[in-house]
Chains A and B, each alone.
Chain A
Amino acid sequence: MSAIKVFKEAAFAENSVWKQVLGICSALAVSNLIKNSLVMGIGVMFALALSSLTVSLIRNFIPRRVRMIAQTLIIASWVIMIDLFLKAFMPEVSKELGPYVGLIITNCILMGRLEAFAAKNTPYLSFVDGLGAGFGYTFVLLIIAFFRELFGFGTVFGLQVLGSWWTPWSIMVMAPSAFFMLALLFWYIQNKYYLK
């Protein structure tokens, strides 16, 4: 299997969010601003790619019985590094994301990809698969965040695009809109690609 095909499959055809309905928690929680979504998405991408690589490298040495806990610990180590990196270089974003960076550990996408792909494939392909799945996740986050930020604040990436005539929809900043936006995205994608 070529690396490009693996990447595309992980990012779109087998997208963890809309195909497998995994990793919804953080997708909803951080999607109120594009900036937060981007940082969170890149964080997940790195955590996923690097843990895929690690798991794949030692896949033949982990006994089956302790596999889950070993994978969780590998993920946790990488996430701690990402958390420290964010705290050091982007303190404001780190504060806004709050506990959600730590919650990457329990993000089901990571466990799902490690079980489904990295535990059976070579390190290089696993790394690419991790990048692809992380990209697919970031992509979903950015779509939701774009609409929530546009209608909720009238801005895109912090820049004012809608003039002063615009009344921000406060619902878009609050929790329920995240559920509605994700549902609408699912609906659109189902109709466009899966129901033919």
Chain B
Amino acid sequence: MTTLEPGVRIEVDGVPHAVPAGATVAAALLNAGVSGFRRAVSGTLRAPLCGMGSCFECRVRIDGVPHRRACMEVVRDGMEVRTGA
């Protein structure tokens, strides 16, 4: 595995995190201990399943844009992520 050095700062639900540059938002969130990415119709928490953009379980709000697939986006410095929608 390629080890990535923390190089980017993002905010997850208002809390700052140092994450590796080049990481996907999904990986960054999981590493930060986020377990629930979105809330399902019936109220349970969901997290990434397919990891490659087809299941939509990992969708979060990124910089104000809702329903972004966390597994398909790469972290950017200053990115604001909201989970639990």
Q: Do A and B come from one complex?
A: no
